[in-house]
Amino acid sequence: MDILTQIPIGSKLKVKASGDVVTLEAINNFPTRYETINESGKVEYYRTHEVELLEVPEEN
């Protein structure tokens, strides 16, 4: 399992409740929440248990 506070920015996450795929923009702590953006540009926040990691961006 990945360390949930060390997932790379730009990772793709799937929202468990809706099935939407979003992109990680930032990680906020205490409590840990992911700031995400969807395809239409809407910014939303999710707790770690509300999403699952789909894809990590390739390192250059």
pLDDT digits (tens), the chain, 60 positions: 467 888 999 999 999 999 999 999 999 988 899 999 999 999 999 999 999 999 888 865
Please give the pLDDT value at position 2.
63
Strand segments, DSSP code E, in 1-60 are 12-15, 21-28, 33-37, 43-47, 51-55
Tokens read off for 35: 């700031």
pLDDT for residue 39: 93
Which own/partner pairs from 55-60 qualify as long-range (CB within 8 Å, at least 24 positions apart)? 55/11, 55/12, 56/7, 56/8, 56/11, 57/8, 57/10, 57/11
Domain boundaries, the chain: 12-54
Helix (H, G, I), strand (E, B) or coil at 50: helix
Residue type, 42: K
